[in-house]
Amino acid sequence: MGRALSLSEGRVELAHGAGGLATHQLVEALFLPAFAPTLAAWRDRGVVVDDDGVVLPEGCVPAGHRLVQSVDAHVVSPLFFPGGDIGTLAVHGTVNDLAMMGATPVSLTVAFVLEEGLPLAELQRIARSIGAAAVEAGVAVVAGDTKVVERGKADGCFVSVSGLGHVAPDVHLSGRRARAGDVVLISGSVGDHGVAVLSRRQGLELETPTLSDTACLFPLVRPLLALGDRLRLLRDPTRGGLATTLNEIAWASGVGFDIDEAAIPVAPAVAGACELLGLDPLYLANEGKAVVVCAPDVADTALALLRNHPLGGSAAVIGRVVDDDTRSVVLRTPLGGTRVLDWLMGDPLPRIC
């Protein structure tokens, strides 16, 4: 059956994406071992992964729950960075999108576009990261696809992950549900992921190395669902940062925001790196933070629930939703002034996720 695959020395070849014997070997030797642990919970339920599609076990969506889907493509450069890699990022990105809908994540599909010449050892490291992040998030990797393009026609590895989850009948979170008087919280410090990737990319020697905050947010936000209708929405401020996420909500809900700059947690190392590089942490990507908007009477409870989880230790109330026909996000500065926080313009930091 052709040459054996050397995972330690080999490189991705066009044949690995041709759908023939080499693809079959790659799946058997590299992907299935990496993803099998994610199927452990379904081991005795007859899930077959070598067909064109995968039939999920009966009962993996509770009766009466609605289905939720999401998708994220990842092109981060470099592929490996302090605190994570493109594999962990791809799982967290999609699982967090489900979690922000109040959904319990169930399963993922993974599609790779690989550049000819990528070391198989790097691909294996990425696949194992996907498997490990999926196990930690409690989701099954149920289907995958791999395409390979010629050297120079892609940049190492691009990964797209789609997710399926389910949401209870009484959960209706949406960016359209913010209303004047609501309170805005953030689950922790902003800008860590952006600085972590940038420091690796630029070879910066920061005094305090910053790790990406990439993490699965479902365990952090699940307790908030008990707040019922008074929890309005959840959002993870990834690309575009906190500033853009708030603008998206303002746009969708037809409201404005009154945000207290001093209340927004920023790690000292991130603040320092941003000053050095001329970046604004409010526009940097986060991969393990949630924006929470809730009714004022449950804001204290929401804050306590967030702080009760290790990922939410530095959670903070950062502002309020206000009536505003211009849908502006207004930042109150520590010196008592105000400035309008616009959407991210251009792309100061390409390929951050």
Residue 216 has φ and ψ, to the nearest 5°, of: -85, 120
User: CA–CA separation, 334 vs 253, rounded Å?
Assistant: 27
Residue closer to its own copies (CB basis): 210 or 253: 253
Beta bridge partners of 186: 291, 316
State the minimum distance, in angstroms, from the CB of residue 120 to its own copies: 16
Quick one: tokens of 192? 């860590």
**Alpha-carbon distances of 25 from 3, 6, 77, 221, rounded to whole Å:** 9, 11, 28, 40
Judging by DSSP bridges, how do beta strands 231-235 and 291-294 pair with one another?
antiparallel
State the minimum distance, in angstroms, from the CB of residue 14 to its own copies: 4
Residue closer to its own copies (CB basis): 110 or 269: 110
User: CA–CA separation, 78 vs 81, rounded Å?
Assistant: 7
Of 307-336, binders to its own copies (CB under 8 A) are: none
State the minimum distance, in angstroms, from the CB of residue 198 to its own copies: 14
Residue closer to its own copies (CB basis): 23 or 129: 23
Q: H or E segment at 115?
A: strand 104-115
Binding residues for its own copies, rule CB under 8 A, total 93
Residue closer to its own copies (CB basis): 107 or 187: 107
Of 152-211, binders to its own copies (CB under 8 A) are: 152-155, 158, 160, 162-165, 167, 173-176
Quick one: tokens of 319? 């502002």
State the minimum distance, in angstroms, from the CB of residue 209 to its own copies: 25
Of 118-147, binders to its own copies (CB under 8 A) are: 142-147
Of 217-236, binders to its own copies (CB under 8 A) are: 233, 235-236
Of 9-68, binders to its own copies (CB under 8 A) are: 13-15, 17-24, 48, 50-58, 60-61, 66-68
Contact call for residue 81 and its own copies (CB under 8 A): no
State the minimum distance, in angstroms, from the CB of residue 270 to its own copies: 19
Q: Which residues contact 21 (CB under 8 A, 6 or more apart)?
A: 1, 2, 15
Cβ atoms of residues 287 and 210 within 8 Å? no
Q: Which position among 72, 182, 213, 258 is part of the footprint of its own copies (CB under 8 A)?
A: 72
The residue with tokens 């339920």 is: 45
Of 272-301, binders to its own copies (CB under 8 A) are: 283, 285
DSSP letters spanning 170-206: T----TT---TT-EEEESS-SSHHHHHHHHHHHT---
